[in-house]
Chains A and B, each alone.
Chain A
Amino acid sequence: MTSGDTQWPRYQVFHQEGPDRPHVNSGSVHATDEEMALQNARDVFVRRPDCVSLWAVLATDIHSLTAEELEREGLPESKNEDGDAQTYQVFLKKTHSGSHGHVGAIQATSPAAALAAAVANYGSQGGIVWWVVSDTSIVRTDPGEIDSLFQSAMSKPYRSQSFYHTVTLMRRLREKKGIRE
């Protein structure tokens, strides 16, 4: 990809570290479709043995509300309340340095109504940014695929840079050759 306008669509990725843990935002990947989104999510974010499930959501399918917007403008207006209620998943960012974590699901008839319900239900925990996503917009890894997707990361030792003693080695080689650092 050489220019911005040919960039593939962006998906937000959420990973789960254990069966009883919430899905937490890991970052985003570009992908042409849902299958590739999960694949890229796995390749980019699952290098350590701590993932049992991945969700990906097209970034444009995320409806967002910040605490500042809430204070300045109040809750977004719901234009169409006549639709059928559907499930929205709610993600909340609680601290500036933290990531969006999944906090629960609510029923609502529109994204705006979902945001209002998210603030009402999950605002008391303190929030900086609320995200709501229609449940049908989330693509999830299949529990039956845990082995083929994540098992290989389990057997990989994670090593920090210092394990390889590269700095010491390079210093020794430089000294030997009389190269100044």
Chain B
Amino acid sequence: MSSDPDRSIAEYLIGIGDDELILAHRDSEWTGHAPILEEDIAFANIALDEMGHAAAWYRLAGELQGQSAETYPDELVFARKPDEFRNIQMVELPNGDWAFSLMRQYLFDSLETVRLKALVESDWDPLADTAAKIRPEELYHLRHTKAWVRRLGLGTEESNQRMQNALDELYPYALQPFSTSGNEFSALPDIKSLRQAWKAEIQPLLAESNLNIPSVTDSPVRSREEHTSYLPMLIEEMQMVARTETEAQW
């Protein structure tokens, strides 16, 4: 992080905005393919919500840097190169099976819920206000994904196994947001207490759902500048139309 507070907070906001955006894109790939029509609608709705959250974080980041709230989010989404995105790797991984996507959404929702709870307390009012606005949607996402984790964890031997496989694969990646040494800005949440809150959020549900948290304690990747080879393909698809029709307004 930079030593300039505004710049550092803007970088933080772009990071969490990118998490939301890239996850929204992956979730949207389920549209028309989810296991049942009702869930197809629900998951597409969640994807739209996450995209809305990304836009809200981008606007705030723009505000800090004197950028236009109108055009800055579009610039971030459509004009950056893949290596300029700052999302955690968990959200860029391909969808896998339904258990994988669902478990990822759950791990993300639980993370976002505890993060928002901390951000609501931020001493920078615009950040606290945005977090308060987003929070009800995230509480609903969490409610939705928790019900599915419980259902599939306690369902059949196969559904439990698929969920366990998904958790084993995703859990180390889910630790990435906690792998930095923290930040010194009072506007942003403390990483250590965030990690504790997140563990406290996920432990009871996963135990109740017969799913075991892997013993790994560290993320395989730390920096938000590092990405898998899956991200460039995703970005190319996401930006394809915008690059073809540069005059179009979105």
Residues in chain A within 8 A of chain B (CB atoms): 1, 8, 29-32, 35-36, 39-40, 43-44, 47, 147-149, 151-152, 154-155, 165, 169, 173, 176
Contacts and interface: CB of A to CB of B under 8 A. Distances in A.
A169 B249 contact: yes
A151 B144 contact: no
B133 to A, nearest CB: 6
Most chain A CB neighbours (cut-off 10 Å) among B35, B133, B248: B248
Interface in B199-250: 245, 247-249
B66 to A, nearest CB: 27
B140 interface: yes
Query: Which of B42, B49, B136, B245 has most chain A Cβ within 10 Å?
Result: B136
Contacts of A47: 45
A158 to B, nearest CB: 13
Contact of A169 (B42, B49, B248): B248
Among A30, A35, A148, A152, the most chain B Cβ lie within 10 Å of the Cβ of A152
B155 to A, nearest CB: 9
Contacts of B140: 148-149, 152
A36 B143 contact: no
Given A1-B35, A30-B37, A169-B249, A39 B147 contact: yes
A173 B248 CA distance: 8
Most A-side CB within 10 Å, residue of B35, B36, B139, B147: B36
**What is the interface of chain B mostly: helix, strand, loop, or mixed?**
helix
Contacts of B42: 39-40, 43-44
Contacts of B45: 43, 47
A35 B147 CA distance: 8
B38 A44 contact: yes
B168 interface: no
A152 B49 contact: yes
A29 B136 contact: no
B244 to A, nearest CB: 9
Task: Give the size category of B's interface with A.
Answer: 20 to 34
Interface string B80-97: 000000000000000000
Contact of A36 (B133, B147, B245): B147
A47 B144 CA distance: 15
Contact of B144 (A29, A43, A147, A165): A43
Interface of B: 35-39, 41-42, 45, 49, 133, 136-137, 139-140, 143-144, 147, 151, 245, 247-249
Q: Is the interface of A mostly helix, strand, loop or mixed?
A: helix
A154 B139 CA distance: 14
B136 A148 contact: yes
A88 to B, nearest CB: 28
A80 to B, nearest CB: 36
A121 to B, nearest CB: 35
B226 to A, nearest CB: 33
A147 B38 CA distance: 21
14 contacts: A8-B36, A31-B38, A36-B147, A36-B151, A39-B144, A40-B38, A43-B38, A43-B42, A148-B140, A152-B139, A154-B136, A155-B136, A165-B249, A173-B247
A149 B239 CA distance: 34
Contacts of A36: 147, 151
A148 B143 CA distance: 8
A43 B35 CA distance: 15
Given A29-B38, A152-B139, 8 more contacts: A30-B37, A30-B38, A32-B151, A35-B147, A39-B143, A147-B136, A152-B137, A173-B248
Contact of A173 (B35, B136, B144, B245): B245
B98 to A, nearest CB: 13
Contacts of A169: 248-249
Contacts of A43: 38-39, 41-42, 45, 144
Nearest to B138: A152
Nearest to A165: B249
